[in-house]
Amino acid sequence: MRRPLIALIVVYAIATFVLTLIPGVDPDGNPWKMSIFQAFYFVSFMGSTIGFGEIPYPFTDEQRYWVLVCIYTSVISWLYTIGSLLTLIQEATFRQSVTSQQFSRSIRRLKAPFFIICGYGDTGRTLTKGLTDLGYVVVVLDKKDDDIKAIPLSDFKAPVYSLTADFSVPETLIRAGIKKRKYCEGIVALSPDDHTNLKVAVATKSLNQDLLTVTRAEDENEIANLKSFHTDVIINSHELFAERLVAAMNNPTGEAIARWLINQQQVELEKVEILEDPDEDAEEEAENASNKSNNTDSSTHAVPHSGRWIICGYGKFGRILKDHLDAQQVETVIIEESSNVSDLPEGFIDGKGTEADTLEKAGIYEAVGLIAGTKDDANNLSILLTAKNLNDRLFTVGRLNEQNNLLLYSSAKPNMTLRNRQLMSDAILTRITRPLVTRFLRELPKLSAKRTRKLYSRIALLTAGEKPITWRIGINSNDAPAITETIEKNYTITLKQLLRNPLSGNAGRACCLMIRRSGHLEIMPDEDIELMLNDEVLLCGTKSESRYTKWQTHNIELLENNVLENRHTIPLLRWLERKEIAKVTARKAAEAEAINLMDQEESTETEIIEEER
Amino acid sequence: MNTEKVIFAFFVILAFTLNFGFFIGDIDNVAHHDIYELYAAIVVGIIATILKLGDRSQLGAVVLASSLVSVILLVIAAVMWMLATKNGFSIDKSTMASIVSFSGGALVANFISVVLLITETSLTKR
């Protein structure tokens, strides 16, 4: 870039200099020479082809000869300069360095909570969508340019910054803002290569130890390694799926609730039937509900737990499934080509599973379930269809490897589909953005079967066909200013009052799943429980109800109306009523205290009497 | 030997010497100071500045800064000259003195450039 600039300066300098030497004639016929300033002015507008004319006096022919030379040389040198400037701008490396600098600058200036996602594949995209829907800023890193290019064109609800860089290099992570302790909420490593994820986790833990680190890993050794330095969350999609399959076998109702709570981002709704009255015969109703949802194809309620399961494919997925089913003492038969895998378990059937005779050899007529778990979607589909033809009472599980083949799978209608990416991104999203839900899910299996069913039918009744969602209310001045203010004035607010719908005044379409109070958990608390400062309340209900509770937590007048029954709309009357309520409460408190005191006095008196004796 | 370095040193030293040539002489005597020498000093100074653009070393940054200072001071001197001579007036003594003193300031900046250049060269030799 220096060469054209210097050429331009030299051309201008010589042109100006020579112009001052050439003699001209002024209108009166006197000899005249340009000053340096006049010459420079002339060369400037000549070189840029503006052309104001021959200033200050018409030129002589000698001057015009020189100007002719200058015109061509200056125009050429300008073209040379502009040309090389354009080449520089279009150069890929230059552009990359500019975008990379812009990226660093925007990260430096970022003043909002954000997550870093390493690897922008299917899972990364789903996760980015989920996080931005919740209002988080997302920083995306990927080695490949192709996927990232689409980000500016995508319709995310929060800013997404992206950089094409190798995220296994710690330098990249620092540029992505890993050290911004105040705003960086967590990092998610989603590379398909376990070792790369390990590198990211190590770098994160050494650069910013407190940062929430989520990694995807499938290899056992790498998982052990990740665990050794306290990676917060390790996601193994196969393991996740196997756990849920087993959970669906043992505790179908609990699993159904868990599915509601986890799959909040999914668009497809699972219809829930309305129940008449959950309290009278909760168990039976819950059974009904579960039976009804059996009819929908994605239900897991009918996962049979006694009988033979056929597993097609003995890769990582097949192995993990077999281990989990073995632990449940479920009989399994493996179908796998013996040429592919060396350490097949005893009693395996050699073959692909796509042909009827292999399936027959595995005992398809006696089997209760079949898992098509090979790495090839076409094979899985063929297995599912063949198996259904042979035995249509079979519970089928299909593994979906490519998101694009989802349409094909919907035609095969397996009872359960392993959608690797969806499963992972849902799990990660729940873990990192809704810790209270995560905590509740851990408590869920510990509930008794009766309580689980009660909870299930309760949620089903409340949401009545809509998709249940969960939300959290922290009783503090940030999340719930109205409630905090009211409690600080010594009023009591019960859970029931919080759940009351402010429009109708009746119980709203929501229930409380859990209250966390100073480290102690209260699962499905009684509705008369009093709210206290710094409680964390996890609610579940319809989407519209979540908006109503938000009104109540933020609007003191609405809350007064609802809770303290101060129904005046004129501010003065409202204020007077408030005073009245305060008086009544104060009197009640004083009375209670007096009674307390009297009790104490009595007890001290009796003690004195006892001592005297 | 590096051609680029030779060219750079050439321009820095030329800027310094031209500036010195303009500066030397009685401060208020117009006959002692040539306008074309000032013109050449500005052009060479700008070239030297551009040659130093993009140098990321600490020393390079200081050389760039001092070149910029000298160019700015010389341009101010040239503008004063231009204003003083418009409509055919000749320069009076006080204006000439201030023009020359501006060029004296630029001379110091150019001198710093030359010193830094020599320092840098001696550092790299070892």
Q: Of A377, A412, A435, at which residue does a domain stop?
A: A435
What is the model's pLDDT at position B106? 95
Residues A457/A458/A463/A467 CA torsion (nearest 10 deg): -60
Q: Of A61, A90, A119, at which residue does a domain stop?
A: A90
Q: Which residues does chain B have within 8 Å of residue A14's beta carbon, measured at their own beta carbons?
A: none
Q: Which residues does chain B have within 8 Å of residue A9's beta carbon, measured at their own beta carbons?
A: 43, 46-47, 50
Residues 11-50 of chain B with CB under 8 A from chain A are 35-36, 39, 43, 46-47, 50
What is the model's pLDDT at position B125? 58
How many domains is chain A built from? 5
Q: Of A63, A90, A117, at which residue does a domain stop?
A: A90
Residue A243 shares a structural domain with residue A231: no
What is the model's pLDDT at position A297? 37
Residue A364 counted as domain residue: yes
Residue A290 shares a structural domain with residue A399: yes
The nearest CA of chain B is from the CA of A24 a distance in Å of 15
What is the model's pLDDT at position A240? 84
> Is B78 touching A (CB cutoff 8 A)?
yes
Q: Which contacts qualify for B9-14: CB closer than 8 Å, 24 or more apart?
A: B9/B117, B9/B121, B11/B44, B11/B47, B11/B48, B11/B51, B12/B48, B12/B63, B12/B67, B12/B110, B12/B113, B12/B114, B12/B117, B13/B114, B13/B117, B14/B44, B14/B48
> Cβ(A436)–Cβ(A535) under 8 Å?
no
Of B50, B53, B85, the CB nearest to A35: B85
Parallel/antiparallel/unpaired status of strands A510-517 and A536-541: antiparallel
Residues A297/A301/A305/A308 CA torsion (nearest 10 deg): -10
Of A9, A16, A37, the CB nearest to B47: A9
Residue A525 shares a structural domain with residue A477: yes
> Is A365 touching B (CB cutoff 8 A)?
no
Low-confidence ranges of chain A (pLDDT < 50): 266-301, 613
Give the number of beta-carbon pairs within 8 Å between A and B. 29
Average of per-residue pLDDT across B95-105: 93
- CB-based contact A9 B36, cutoff 8 Å: no
Residue A354 counted as domain residue: yes
Parallel/antiparallel/unpaired status of strands A395-400 and A369-372: parallel
The nearest CA of chain B is from the CA of A37 a distance in Å of 6
Residue A187 counted as domain residue: yes
Of B35, B53, B78, the CB nearest to A2: B53
Residue A230 shares a structural domain with residue A243: no
- CATH code: domain of residue A539: 3.30.70.1450
Residue A291 shares a structural domain with residue A320: yes
> Is A36 touching B (CB cutoff 8 A)?
yes
What is the model's pLDDT at position A302? 63
Reported as a single tens digit per residue, the pLDDT across A534-588 is: 888 888 888 888 888 888 888 877 777 776 666 666 777 777 777 777 777 777 7
* CA terminus-to-terminus distance, chain B: 15
> Is A37 touching B (CB cutoff 8 A)?
yes
What is the model's pLDDT at position A57? 87
Please state the pTM of the whole predicted model. 0.66
Q: What phi and psi, each to the nearest 5 degrees, are found at residue A519?
A: 85, -10
Residue A558 shares a structural domain with residue A583: no
Q: Which residues does chain B have within 8 Å of residue A35's beta carbon, measured at their own beta carbons?
A: 82, 85
Domain boundaries, chain B: 3-123
- CB-based contact B85 A2, cutoff 8 Å: no
What is the model's pLDDT at position A479? 83
Residue A431 shares a structural domain with residue A494: no
The domain of A382 spans 239-435
Of B35, B46, B53, the CB nearest to A9: B46
Residue A100 counted as domain residue: no
Residue A533 shares a structural domain with residue A415: no
Q: Which residues does chain B have within 8 Å of residue A1's beta carbon, measured at their own beta carbons?
A: 53-54
Reported as a single tens digit per residue, the pLDDT across B9-47 is: 899 999 999 999 999 999 888 888 998 999 999 999 999
ipTM for this model: 0.83
